[in-house]
Amino acid sequence: MVNIQNAVLVIIDMQNGFLGSRSKHVIPNVVRLIEECKSRNISTVFTRFHNLEGSPYERLIGWKRLRSAPETALTAEMIPYLETVIDKEIYSAFVPKFNDLVAANNWNTFILCGVATDSCIMKTAVDVFERKFIPLVISDACASHAGDEVHNAGLMILGRFIGKGQILTTDRLLNLLDVGYVAANS
Cis peptide before 28 (omega within 30 of 0): no
Element (H, E) at 90: none
Query: Can you tell me the distance from the alpha carbon of 155 to that of 26, in angstroms, rounded to the nearest whole number?
Result: 15
Domain boundaries, the chain: 2-182
The fold for domain 2-182 equals Rossmann fold (3.40.50)
Q: Are 94 and 88 in contact (CB under 8 A)?
A: no
Give the residue from 179, 170, 162 showing the smallest Cα distance to 138.
Answer: 170
**Digit-coded pLDDT (tens) for 75-106:** 999 999 999 999 999 999 999 999 999 999 99
**Digit-coded pLDDT (tens) for 153-186:** 999 999 999 999 999 999 999 998 888 655 444 4
- What is this structure's pTM? 0.95
Query: Can you tell me the distance from the alpha carbon of 43 to that of 185, in angstroms, rounded to the nearest whole number?
Result: 25
Residue 5 pLDDT: 80
Query: Can you tell me the distance from the alpha carbon of 148 to that of 165, in angstroms, rounded to the nearest whole number?
Result: 21
